Amino acid sequence: MLYFFLLLEYEAEQPLFPDIPESKQQSVTVLFCSGSPREYLEYYIFPVLLPGLAELLHQAKKEKCFERKRTKFIACDFLTEWLYNHNPKRKDESFTEFFSIPFVNDWLKDHPRQPMPLSLHLSEEEASIIIQSFWRGYRVRCDTEVQELRQWQKQLREEENISQRVEEFWTKQEAKGKWIKLL
């Protein structure tokens, strides 16, 4: 407990923004509570955190997090962005997106995230179009006439060395292109 109060006192003595000259820094009240940690939480932390958590739940409902097993919504990112933008020290500043927050940007430079799967980026309509087109293609490829046609094309390619002819064609085209450039 004593360490907690010493830490608060030490932080109160430190400049809030060491990179900015003191003349440009605004006067900011330092949060110090002489009571118990519970009083500190109830007086300073919860009045800011609880509205953020309520907004987090509303956003999670909009993103359908309670209906699906996986979503693209990241609750910690949302809460970080909300708390940063609703910070009393930033009252007059404009809204800042999550990836534009300075400390988030610095953290992600050192600890990059894995890319999100395509399934989380797609809307329901886009995903249904992809699934339907795959299913239609599968059903068509299962048709016996289409299978016969594909088998015939495969044999034709093997018998007439189509792949070799294609390579020869493109080498001739590239040679023509080089010849034209020389002229």
Task: Identify the pLDDT of residue 166.
Answer: 84
Running DSSP on this structure, what letter comes out for residue 167?
H
Residues 129 and 110 in one domain: no
Predicted TM-score of the model (pTM): 0.55
Section 29-58 average pLDDT: 82
Please give the pLDDT value at position 6.
Answer: 55
Domain region containing 113: 2-121
Looking at the structure, do residues 163 and 131 belong to the same domain, yes or no? yes
Where residue 64 falls (left for φ over 0; alpha for ψ -120 to 50; beta otherwise) is: left
Q: Number of structural domains, the chain?
A: 2
Cα 171 to chain centroid distance, Å, stands at 44
Angle between helices 162-182 and 144-159 (to 10 degrees): 60
Domain boundary among 79, 97, 121: 121
What tens digit of pLDDT does each residue of 85-99 get? Answer: 988 888 888 999 999
Are residues 111 and 96 part of one domain? yes
61 and 132 inside one domain: no
pLDDT at 157: 80
Indicate the residue among 93, 121, 149 that finishes a domain. Answer: 121
The pLDDT assigned to 104 comes to 92
CB 72 within 8 A of CB 120: yes
Residues 82 and 129 in one domain: no
Predicted confidence (pLDDT) at residue 13 exceeds the cutoff of 70: no
Q: Are residues 50 and 70 in the same domain?
A: yes
Quick count: other Cβ atoms within 10 Å of Cβ 127? 13
Q: Which of 41, 61, 39 is nearest to 50 (CA)?
A: 41
Distance CA 98, CA 161 (A): 56
pLDDT of residue 9: 65
Query: Which amino acid belongs to residue 42?
Result: E
pLDDT for residue 28: 47
- 75, 156: one domain: no
Statement: residue 123 has pLDDT above 90: no
How high is the pLDDT of residue 176?
Answer: 80
- Of 121, 147, 174, the one marking the end of a domain is 121
Q: Which of 86, 92, 95 is nearest to 52 (CA)?
A: 86
Q: What's the pLDDT band for 18 if we cut at 50, 70, 90?
A: low
Q: What is the mean pLDDT of residues 59-87?
A: 90
80 plus 20 within the same structural domain: yes
